[in-house]
Amino acid sequence: MRILICGGTGFLGRHVVNALIQAGHDPVVRSRHSDPALDFAHATDAEAWRPHLQNVDAVVNAVGALRDTPAQSLDMLHTAAPMALFDACAQAGIRRVVQVSALGVHEGDTRYASTKRAADDHLLALNAAGRLHGVVVRPSVIFGAGGASTELFLALARLPVLLLPQAVRDSFIQPVAVRDLADVLARLAAQDAPTGVVNLGGPEPVAMGSLIASLRAQMGRAPARVGHLPQWASVASAKVGDRISALPWCSETLALLQNSNVTDPQTLADLLGRPPVPPQRLYATLPRERRS
């Protein structure tokens, strides 16, 4: 199959491209850095998508960002451009669309959650109208080299003294190895089912503080001293991060990590057809040059 990968040069997208190639498919990569390039900020109507959909059998939208930056708006990136893409697919007769969202966006009130949810709902409405066989994939935290959450967790795991907000330390997530998620997305793109919403989580829920401690142990380091960061200090540090777009820590991160992010672990295993990577083996999935 010829499958369009939006965001195919990004953190998740490049793994999806590799998974599709290994499965014998023909990925068509589109991003700001592809050739030809496609900037989501300028692809907010269906007409802009038509040249990129020629001879395409299915679409995976793996584009996402944590927060607004001067160069990109979440309204454009997460909502306007994907909605235009979905409309263009329906008009072109491309039935299979895989939208990568995130676990918890159905109830979150952050900018990230609300903008992702708007596009998800539009795809589901096109499903209900019989115009698409779309699936909204909502994974828990994705772990892999280059991921914003991963870089934050690794940076914290390297600290000999760790101060975490109480709510963040005690919230639960089910980290999913990026290669596991990419394999699932590649499989979903090549078939008509399932449709609707698919929630994905790793093989076991783990408290954020425990995950960071586990990563530190996987690095071969002695346990860190862990303390409690007062809420006022957590908010203040996040506001500092809001001013520095290169940092993974900001108000959006704080809000997202304060909420537990878990689901049925069997779904991922069933779609993979094999056991997914457990939290205790996540560090080993990183390239050797990224381990330190």
Percent of all residues in the chain with a pLDDT value above 70, rounded to a whole number: 98
pLDDT at 168: 75
Single-letter residue type at 208:
M
Q: How confident is the model at residue 110 (pLDDT cuts 50, 70, 90)?
A: confident
Nearest to 30 by CA among 70, 73, 69, 88: 88
pLDDT at 248: 67
Lowest-confidence pick of 41-45, 199-203, 244-248, 253-257? 244-248
Full-prediction pTM beyond 0.85?
yes
Lowest-confidence pick of 111-125, 223-237, 265-279? 223-237
Q: How confident is the model at residue 246 (pLDDT cuts 50, 70, 90)?
A: low
Q: How confident is the model at residue 4 (pLDDT cuts 50, 70, 90)?
A: very high
As a whole number, mean pLDDT of residues 76-95 equals: 97
Residue 200 and residue 103: Cα distance in Å, rounded?
7
pLDDT at 67: 79
Count CB atoms within 10 A of the CB of residue 290.
14
Q: Where are the alpha helices (DSSP H) in 93-218?
A: 111-128, 148-157, 166-170, 178-189, 208-218
The DSSP string of 1-36 is -EEEEETTTSTTHHHHHHHHHHTT-EEEEESTTSSS
Q: What is the mean pLDDT of the chain?
A: 91
183 pLDDT higher than 90: yes
pLDDT at 42: 86
7 pLDDT higher than 80: yes
As a whole number, mean pLDDT of residues 72-96 equals: 95
Q: 168 or 148: whose pLDDT is higher?
A: 148
Q: Which two tokens stand for residue 218?
A: 């996987």
pLDDT at 203: 96
Q: How confident is the model at residue 140 (pLDDT cuts 50, 70, 90)?
A: very high
For Cα atoms 266, 272, 278, give the angle at the middle one, nearest 5 degrees: 60
